[in-house]
Amino acid sequence: MLKIITTPSPILSQTAKPVAKLDKSVLNLIEQMKQTLLSAQDPVGVGLAAPQIGKALRIFIIKQNHKSPISTFINPLIEDFLNAPSEKNQQAKQSETTRRAKEKSGINKNVQLEGCLSLIDIWGEVKRQPGVALSYQDEKGEKHSQKFYGFISTIIQHETDHLNGILFPKRVLEQKGKLYKSRKDEKGEDIFEEIEI
């Protein structure tokens, strides 16, 4: 298991390099990333990019909920942004914990809050595109071109930003959104307090 790099580490603001060769060292790195993502509990991680564990390579992994398998994306490239195919995909899903905490903190339930394992207790309102067309390689080196919608599209956009040296607060500022700091109340539940920007 690897240590997750947190701000203000400079590697988080660097553009990651493409993976030139899918060798044993890269596969070993991906295995370690998986263990690191699975161990993230508070908050539970849904994605992890290689720069977050100190490797400036264009790799990220996703586990969108506790039941889903981990998906690996090597040299991912967003080819296009897509509209949602149906009304039900207009809103990205959020974890039950985040939804309850937002309600308790008085945050609009339609606002999508993003967090990051590299930014402890910081959350922000980020508007992401409903879908993406993504080209990437898997762990076997096979190339894929696929469309993703909803929550997984949000995660892909967040993780792709990591590969480009962008952390989500930059998107919040660009969109004139709000940032929040979370803390635990006496029952151990998350409370969100707005940060003055």
pLDDT: which is higher, 137 or 1: 137
Query: pTM for this one?
Result: 0.87
108 C-beta neighbours (distance < 10 Å), count: 9
Mean pLDDT, to the nearest integer, of 103-131? 83
Which tokens sit at 19? 């993976």
- 159 assigned to active site: yes
Which tokens sit at 151? 């929550």
Rounded to 10 degrees, the C-alpha dihedral 107/186/123/163 comes to -150
pLDDT at 22: 96
Residue 58 has pLDDT above 50, yes or no: yes
Catalytic residue among 114, 159, 186, 196: 159
Residue % of the chain over a pLDDT of 70: 87
Mean pLDDT of the chain: 89
pLDDT tens-digit map of 62-109: 999 888 999 999 999 999 999 988 644 444 455 555 666 566 555 655
pLDDT at 66: 85
pLDDT tens-digit map of 160-186: 999 999 999 999 999 999 999 999 888
79 C-beta neighbours (distance < 10 Å), count: 13
Q: For residues 1 and 116, what is the distance between their CA atoms, to the nearest angstrom?
A: 18
pLDDT at 190: 84
Beta strands in the chain (DSSP E): 47-49, 59-62, 71-82, 113-116, 119-125, 131-137, 143-149, 179-184, 190-195
pLDDT at 50: 98
Q: Give the pLDDT band (50/70/90) at residue 42.
A: confident
59 C-beta neighbours (distance < 10 Å), count: 28
- The three state secondary structure string of 126-169 is CCCCCEEEEEEECCCCCEEEEEEECHHHHHHHHHHHHHCCCCHH
180 in Cβ contact with 195 (< 8 Å): yes
Q: For residues 15 and 62, what is the distance between their CA atoms, to the nearest angstrom?
A: 20
